[in-house]
Structure 1
Amino acid sequence: MLKKNSPARHGLNIIIVGCGKVGTTLVQQLCKEGHKITIVDKDPSTVQELTNLYDIMGIIGNGASYSVQIEAGISSADLFIAVTASDELNLLCCTIAKRVGDCSAIARVRTPDYSKEVGYLRDRLGLAMIINPELEAAREAARILYLPTALEVNSFAHGQVEMIKFKIPEGNLLDGMTVAHLGRHITNAVLICVVQRGAELHIPGGDFQLAKGDIISFVCPRRMTRSFLECIGVKTKRVSNTMIIGGGKGAYYLGNQLIQMGISVKIIEINRARCEELSTLLPN
């Protein structure tokens, strides 16, 4: 075990299994927040490198091993995160951690077959969360391609509601309009949450008057987003055709999202067997 002396800190006791890109990023962020981190990885050089860079403990071994988890302090851990390259190993690590310790467990699961069963796996295994970085990245890319005009698009309520941020252009219908007038005469399904005017932020009331250059954030049902923007004269510039280079998991997730949005997708992949597999998974 590699250990570094550190002053007393107030935070969660967190064990991270797997020190690849995701695991390293988690260490960076969680250390900034003042948590006590213990990492577990089979690669001695990776563990040594991270313990030299950050004020954390490092253990070399298999994160699914009972003895390794005991050595890592699973009995007093608040949170257990498994982000190795293997979905099955991550689920096994979390299952053992839940049986041995009294902590919340998070597993990274990237395989499409498992992603379709996230709810079942989470409930049956008692996990706090299952994360899929490729799927989340694909969702974000799909939202941007669906509405390139927007500065930012965030989804809520399982994709049924969106928060859109965009800048009011000169000569737009909203320029000089009050929030109350918008609700009475255009639509009351849109809620303007925040208006950024220069360096100032405003929570607008009904008598607040919008102006060109304002960056507004509004919430509305997803099915009405594009129709509202088109109604006020904002061109949505929706993408109609896409070409994705590479046929990995991210390409599958992104292609699937875009097809559901009615966007044409073409994927270029050097491996013929993977191309045939994708053709079956994404027949459109």
Structure 2
Amino acid sequence: MVNVIIVGCGRVGSQLATMLSSNDANVCVVDRKAEALSNLSRNFNGTTLQGEGFDESVLVRAGVEEADVVAAVTSSDSANFMVAETARRIFHVPHVIVRLYNPARERAHMQLGLDYVCGTSLVAEEVFSKVMSGHGSHLDSFGDFEILRFSFNLEGTGLKQMKVADLERNHDIRIVVFERRDGSASSIPSRDSVLYHGDSVVACIRHDLLGEFSKFMQ
């Protein structure tokens, strides 16, 4: 289960929190205004915390020491930057994502190595895709697609194996290459290739399908 802290509970933060908690992520939402936390939907099943998201003590209470991802999505570029730098440099959170309003600051964010989403449309969906890609190793992005490497997961499906052709057809993805769990063989798949639980897989997946497909990622 991925542990996520979302700082900012406006329209983007509340939507993102619901999307992630609905996909079995462990989510804590932080906002300096208690009334902002009421933006969360009834379907949200995570935790909330009132406080400044760049305050070290607040982040510790939110669980930053165990966090896999911190997403700073407040309405202030400066606040988001401060949250990101605190999470990265003090707590060494593996993946920090920043919402960016001012495109003029993109170059600075790129030079600092910050993962950011710029613009106001579809921000929650884009950040969601970035968080969910953390289920495996994120290799690259191409337009609307993510290239991921992950261990194939069949737990809870009742299946012992799955044909590549069925997986690609039913989930609209492309399996690029796979390797057996024991490392005995690797192959570029054909339509008749079969995947087993624990096989290592490199796949090309559309952003908007990551949430649904994450059940196959270990």
TM-score class, shorter-chain normalisation, is 0.5 to 0.7
CA contact (8 A) 2:80 2:98 kept: yes
- Deviation of 1:118 after TM superposition, in Å, equals 3.6
The number of equivalent residue pairs is: 128
CA contact (8 A) 2:18 2:40 kept: no
Q: 2:54 aligns with which of 45, 50, 64?
A: 64
- Deviation of 1:158 after TM superposition, in Å, equals 7.2
The residue type equivalent to 2:21 in the other structure is C
- Deviation of 1:77 after TM superposition, in Å, equals 0.5
Provide the rounded CA distance (Å) in 2 between the counterparts of 1:36 and 1:42.
20
Higher radius of gyration, 1 or 2: 1
Equivalent positions of 1:1-284 (< 5 A) are: 11-48=1-38, 50=40, 53-103=43-93, 104-121=95-112, 123=113, 127=114, 129-134=115-120
CA contact (8 A) 1:77 1:101 kept: no
Provide the rounded CA distance (Å) in 2 between the counterparts of 1:136 and 1:15.
19
Provide the rounded CA distance (Å) in 2 between the counterparts of 1:72 and 1:96.
13
- Change in Cα spacing, 1:16 to 1:136, as seen in structure 2 (3 Å) is closer
* Deviant stretches of 4+, over 6 Å: none
Q: Please state whether the residue corresponding to 1:69 is helix, strand or coil.
A: helix
Structure with greater strand percent:
2
**Worse-superposed segment, 89-98 or 112-121:** 112-121
Provide the rounded CA distance (Å) in 2 between the counterparts of 1:136 and 1:53.
20
Structure 2, unaligned stretches of length 5 or more?
Answer: 124-140, 145-171, 175-218
TM-score by length of structure 2 reads: 0.52
TM-score by length of structure 1 reads: 0.41
CA contact (8 A) 1:76 1:101 kept: no
Q: Please state whether the residue corresponding to 1:39 is helix, strand or coil.
A: strand
CA contact (8 A) 1:64 1:93 kept: yes
1:178-208 CA-partner distances (Å, limit 9, x unpaired): xxxxxxxxxxxxxxxxxxxxxxx9x9xxxxx
Aligned identity (percent) is 27
- Change in Cα spacing, 1:34 to 1:117, as seen in structure 2 (3 Å) is same
CA contact (8 A) 1:75 1:100 kept: no
Structure 1, unaligned stretches of length 5 or more?
Answer: 1-10, 138-155, 160-200, 204-284
